């Protein structure tokens, strides 16, 4: 194994350097896509603007031949191949990214779905029709070669077609005992946040396909077992122990898709701290919030990504997702007549609810907060994720929606007319101010909309109206949907983080279509709303309240 020889030599040159921590296993065995000298030299030469491009490129020939040729070339150049020759080598031995995929249109796709007729505003209705067409552009299926020669691809084979997010993300998200961070070999040790059970619930709501549930219940249980076995932490408070979950990826080396950035960041730290840094970066990627002040606050260097400490925090959203999943699993098993399993998940949900209340909930503020395991205190900064239990239905206090509204008002979140900001911290990371992301709008909007409080429901609509107009206005200017938007710059496409803002875009399209489906009879494409200042909130709600008092 040529790459192994190089790694051993490097360790010797570093003086067997992992002083404070032993070397961790690589994210996969591939000496091309996950670790080794070839990956290191190509990525550090920065042949591509985005490191992900290289690790998504298929091989033209067998990996053993590629490695043998590379080893000889590297030896001839004293393990430092000139950039131009590396480019020639890659061109000769790799295919362009995306070659393993071909277009696919879902079999049940309809040109003019029924929900479009519910949208009153003609401009919004036309726009929704254009967004609906994008599913065909984002639909993909794999070529047979991925099955016959899996060793030549970082993409993991799936016989089923799928929808990709768009932009740099041209892979599926699929169950593999858990749902990996993406359908690539280098992502296999990182999960996505656990939302597979919720997807099943959405599918059942629309199809009532109990046979499909019966066939796949154990797959759903596997995902929850993964989090229990691999991502559980114990928190002791006032003499009681509570089991909750965190993001945690104990695998070594730079992330292959961001290799050069991780390697350069590690160069700022002592050698013995680098493996820990790389593991924390992977945990941040597992959270979906890669990266954010959420994972930096509380450490010795909260202003630098080198101080990331994702695994040291117990996240509100992760535990709300699991709480919701446990409730759904209990419901599923009841539906299937399995009372013992239904009881098991009902008890798990009850235990998690008690832990959420004891560890993460703050009565004075009226919100939940991430818990810092090292500093033994809550992170009280604003993030939309602080209200995820409201969205997930994981609370017992009937007055929680009213408290959530006050929390949004106290933090002046309702004054942002282009969307709810991801935080109030301006760090340059993409999951911080001034970016707004579609899934986080959904968490707050649907959390408030489900509340019995009329005032909360109306604020949910106003937030939906703001987000729809932001997306519609940008689409009108650029004929594209984006992964994130800048609330400080008129709602223009967002920025920051490790890569350029991406077009596509799966979750942005999905949230817009969901909001148009829900509020289509009320949403308009007109001028932006005024700020929802807290003292003006009553005025914003007054027309709806007056209408509700009129005789029916």
Is residue 459 within 8 Å of 448, Cβ to Cβ? yes
Check 286, 327, 370, 483 and give the catalytic one: 483
Check 280, 290, 317, 458 and give the catalytic one: 290
DSSP annotation string for 440-477 = HHHHHHHHHHTSS-HHHHHHHHHHHHHHHHHHHHHHHH
DSSP-derived secondary structure letter, 534: G
Phi, psi of 425 (to 5 degrees): -100, 125
Q: Which residue pairs from 459-463 have beta carbons closer than 8 angstroms and sit at least 24 positions apart in sequence?
A: 459/405, 459/408, 459/414, 459/532, 459/537, 459/540, 459/541, 461/519, 461/522, 462/529, 462/532, 462/540, 463/414, 463/420
Contacts of 395 (CB under 8 A, 6+ apart): 353, 356, 357, 361, 389
Q: Cα(515)–Cα(112) distance, rounded to whole angstroms?
A: 17
- Our answer to whether residue 159 is catalytic in this structure is no
Is residue 315 within 8 Å of 287, Cβ to Cβ? yes
Contacts of 184 (CB under 8 A, 6+ apart): 33, 55, 56, 154, 155, 156, 171, 257
- Our answer to whether residue 108 is catalytic in this structure is no
Classify residue 412 by burial, with Cβ atoms within 10 Å: 0-12, 13-18, 19+. Answer: middle
Length of the chain: 552
Is residue 315 within 8 Å of 297, Cβ to Cβ? no
Residue 100 CB neighbour total at 10 angstroms: 23
DSSP annotation string for 195-226 = -HHHHHHHHHHHH--HHHHHHHHHHHHHHHHH
* Secondary structure E strands in 474-544: 484-486
DSSP annotation string for 266-328 = HTTS-GGGHHHHHHHHHHHHHHS--S-GGGTTTSS-TTSGGG--GGGEE-HHHHHHHHHHHHH
**Which residues are annotated as catalytic?**
290, 483
């Amino acid at each position: 194994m040529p790459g192994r020889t190089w790694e051993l030599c490097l360790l010797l040159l570093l003086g067997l350097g992992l002083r404070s921590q032993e070397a961790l296993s690589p994210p996969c065995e591939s000496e091309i896509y996950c670790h080794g000298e070839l990956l290191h030299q190509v990525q550090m030469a920065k042949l591509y603007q985005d490191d992900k491009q290289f690790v998504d490129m298929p091989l033209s020939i067998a990996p053993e031949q590629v490695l043998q040729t590379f080893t000889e070339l590297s030896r001839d150049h004293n393990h430092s191949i000139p950039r131009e020759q590396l480019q020639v080598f890659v061109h000769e031995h790799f295919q362009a990214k995306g070659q393993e995929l071909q277009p696919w249109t879902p079999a049940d796709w309809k040109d003019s779905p029924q929900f479009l007729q519910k949208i009153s505003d003609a401009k919004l209705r036309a726009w929704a029709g254009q967004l609906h067409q994008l599913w065909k552009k984002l639909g993909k299926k794999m070529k047979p070669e991925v099955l016959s020669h899996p060793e030549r691809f970082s993409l993991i084979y799936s016989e089923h077609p799928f929808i990709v997010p768009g932009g740099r993300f041209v892979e599926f998200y699929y169950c593999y005992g858990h749902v990996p961070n993406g359908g690539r070999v280098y992502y296999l040790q990182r999960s996505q946040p656990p939302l597979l059970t919720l997807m099943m619930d959405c599918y059942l709501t629309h199809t009532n396909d109990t046979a499909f549930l019966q066939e796949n219940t154990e797959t759903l249980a596997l995902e929850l077992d993964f989090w229990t076995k691999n991502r559980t932490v114990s928190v002791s408070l006032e003499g009681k122990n509570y089991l909750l979950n965190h993001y945690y990826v104990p695998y070594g080396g730079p992330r292959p898709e961001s290799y050069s950035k991780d390697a350069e960041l590690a160069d700022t730290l002592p050698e013995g701290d680098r493996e820990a840094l790389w593991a924390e970066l992977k945990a941040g990627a597992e959270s979906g919030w890669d990266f954010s002040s959420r994972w930096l606050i509380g450490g010795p260097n909260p202003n630098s990504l080198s101080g990331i400490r994702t695994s040291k925090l117990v996240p509100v959203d992760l535990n709300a997702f699991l709480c919701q999943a446990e409730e759904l699993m209990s419901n599923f098993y009841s539906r299937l007549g399995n009372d013992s399993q239904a009881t098991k998940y009902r008890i798990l949900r009850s235990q998690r609810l008690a832990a959420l209340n004891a560890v993460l909930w703050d009565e004075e503020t009226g919100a939940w907060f991430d818990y810092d395991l090292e500093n033994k205190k809550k992170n009280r900064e604003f993030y939309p994720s602080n209200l995820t239990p409201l969205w997930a239905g994981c609370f017992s206090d009937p007055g929680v929606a009213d408290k959530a509204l006050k929390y949004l008002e106290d933090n002046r979140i309702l004054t942002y007319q282009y969307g709810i900001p991801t935080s109030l911290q301006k760090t340059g990371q993409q999951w911080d101010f001034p970016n707004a992301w579609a899934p986080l709008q959904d968490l707050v909007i649907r959390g408030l909309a489900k509340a019995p409080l009329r005032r909360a429901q109306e604020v949910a609509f106003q937030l939906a109206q703001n987000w729809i107009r932001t997306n519609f206005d940008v689409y009108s200017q650029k004929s594209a949907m984006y992964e994130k938007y800048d609330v400080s710059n008129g709602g223009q496409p967002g920025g920051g983080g490790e890569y350029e803002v991406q077009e596509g875009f799966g979750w942005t399209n999905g949230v817009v279509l969901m909001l148009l489906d829900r509020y289509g009879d009320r949403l308009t494409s007109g001028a932006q709303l005024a700020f929802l200042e807290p003292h003006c909130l009553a005025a914003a709600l007054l027309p709806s309240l007056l209408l509700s008092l009129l005789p029916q």
